[in-house]
Chain A
Amino acid sequence: MATEQHLGTPTPMFDVIFEPFGYPFIIRGMIAAILAGALCGGIGVYVVLKRMAYIGHGLAHAVLGGAVVSFVMSFNFLIGSTVWGFLCAQLITLTTKKRKIAYDAAIGVITTASFAIGIVLISRYKSFTRDFETALFGNIAAVAPGDLVALAAVTVATALVLFVAYKHFLFTTFDGDVAQFYGVPTGWVEAAFSLVLAGTIVVSLQVLGVLLIAGATVIPPVSARMLTDSFPRMLLLSAGIGAFCGFFGIYLSYFVDVSSGATIVLVEAAVFALVMAYSNIRSRLLAVRRREDVVAPAAAPAETGIGPSAEPVKTEGD
């Protein structure tokens, strides 16, 4: 590197690094991507722990139907799509409760039907076709100040819900059946979750697009899970990873000039791969250390076999 450059005079390298920050639409896109990344990452923790990773993917498709219907009826897109997405989620829950239909199958039926409604309307009213690509893949350049306000509002609302009902969400996510036995209003918790999830998907669509949003709700939580065994830490880590990948994805997409949503998801996938490699190495190191620990006390056996330390540690697979 050019070390004898004058301080204060930025090097061309320096210029290049900070170049993206000179454009207001990139700054807007970055803020949008950070918020959307954090939002999807945070809410994704509940999605992943409930073992319904597929719901993000499904609801994003379902929401497209709501978006087109709102467009055709000249209704507010944000409210219309959120309500539509929420109703789809309720319909999925209802379907699984009433009949013996598995959750993933119900998602498949209802969300694709809703998606198809969107496609039918789009092919009927051709004026929507340009926005259609944005809806599928996201378009950071099209983020308007109003979109940022909506994103910020949903982020604050979601954070508030997750904070105020933290205990209720944790118990319901861990074991909904038993939570109900303890008097937790699990029906309300699930409904609140559906609403928050639908809102998250709607405001993130602009950045990530229908086809990529599932990545943002699944990859950060799964990465965070490998790094911690604590629920609150997983929540913060996942939101943090999502926010970082949102920022870095937009930053990279400026240079390589490719779809911003796809870049964000690829950055998240890279983070996932790194975390997995790290956690593999760590668990191997821990196994080695444990083996050494087992060898060492064998030389000087404990005086009694009683006490908590004598109880065997369960080692069933992760």
Chain B
Amino acid sequence: MLHPMPHEHHAGTPLVEINRLSCGYEKQRVLQGVNLQIMRGDFVGLLGPSGSGKTTLLRALLGAVDVYEGEVLVAGVRASEGRPRIGYVPQLETIDWNFPVTVREVVMMGRTMENRFFPWFRKEEKELADRMMGQLGILHLAGRHIRELSGGQQQRAFLARALVSSPSLLLLDEPTSGVDVKTRDDVMHLLHDLNHEGVTIVITTHEINAVAVHLPRLVCLSGRVLAEGTPYEVITTDVLRQTYGAEMPVIHYEGMPIVAESPHRYGRNGGANGDGATPGHTHAHV
């Protein structure tokens, strides 16, 4: 079972400061008027439908979007200028699993820019990578090809790559999409452990009940920030209607909000796009 972690805000300046940010790609605005602060030690989940700007917000932290207004400061520095150390874990679906690399080679990629003018990795760097793989429990797989790993192990390999450069911030794009329930649990436990050790984490997710409600802090997006706060504050029927445009009742169980994601039978007039709804008939959803 996953539990929300009590997290303390460290005093001082926030690690991430986003002020009045409007950004996007090629003159197409994706996000508008975003104000957001992320403190050291935070664990933030970005929630929102497809195209709501979750990934764009992650890319904004990495300085990989066009900024039209406002600014993104990571550790006090504009993301487009001095590059802060940020670990990034892409969606597993975007990885080319046929590429000839071993787990160790993937992890070492995280150190590419550390001694950039030195063709090979140093001994200390290799030892660091081994330690990191050891901590994540994949050291025995270091020589294996990445395709030979299970979903959870693959996620750990790419997490290790993000962590070997000792980043001040860890970003994960849908770390639980496309994995089974047990792997999802493992990955979330691992992230909570890392967060406990002081790593600041931002993830995007589609899964409200399984992932979002267990996070200390959520941000709901739909082109702008709709709501922000603890799951208890954010996961309400009202906010969810604004975010997803769908009616979703929220129940509370042991202090945790649970969302009935599709409370109506398909084909009834409950769906957001209620097309084909024929009152009085119940359609079997095939």
Contacts and interface: CB of A to CB of B under 8 A. Distances in A.
B62 A181 contact: yes
Contacts of A24: none
A234 B141 CA distance: 20
B94 interface: yes
Contacts of A174: 96, 99, 101, 106, 109
Contacts of B279: none
27 contacts: A49-B100, A166-B119, A166-B120, A167-B112, A167-B119, A168-B112, A173-B99, A174-B96, A177-B94, A178-B90, A181-B88, A182-B110, A182-B165, A183-B83, A183-B112, A183-B113, A184-B112, A229-B102, A230-B100, A230-B101, A230-B102, A308-B137, A311-B150, A312-B150, A313-B149, A314-B147, A314-B151
Contacts of B108: 167
A93 B62 CA distance: 23
A182 B88 contact: yes
B90 to A, nearest CB: 5
Contacts of B64: 180-181
Given A181-B86, A182-B110, A231-B105, A318 B98 contact: yes
B154 A175 contact: no
Interface string A169-196: 0110111011111111000000000000
A164 B119 contact: yes
Interface in A126-173: 163-168, 170-171, 173
B126 interface: no
A229 B140 CA distance: 17
A166 B94 CA distance: 23
A164 to B, nearest CB: 5
A316 B98 CA distance: 11
Q: Is the interface of B mostly helix, strand, loop or mixed?
A: loop
B88 A178 contact: yes
A228 interface: yes
A173 B121 CA distance: 18
B152 interface: yes
Given A167-B119, A311-B153, A184 B100 contact: no
Given A49-B100, A182-B113, A312-B150, 6 more contacts: A177-B94, A181-B64, A181-B86, A184-B112, A230-B100, A311-B150
B145 A229 contact: yes
Contacts of A182: 88, 109-110, 112-113, 165
Nearest to B98: A318
B286 interface: no
Contacts of B62: 181
B119 A163 contact: yes
A78 B108 CA distance: 38
Contact of A313 (B102, B112, B148): B148
A225 interface: yes
B257 to A, nearest CB: 32
A165 B118 CA distance: 8
Nearest to B101: A231
**Residue picked from B111, B113, B148, B153, most chain A C-beta under 10 Å:** B113
Interface in B76-110: 83, 86, 88, 90, 94-102, 105-106, 108-110
A115 to B, nearest CB: 31
B100 A231 contact: yes
B148 A314 contact: yes
A37 to B, nearest CB: 21
Interface string A254-287: 0000000000000000000000000000000000
A314 B153 CA distance: 10
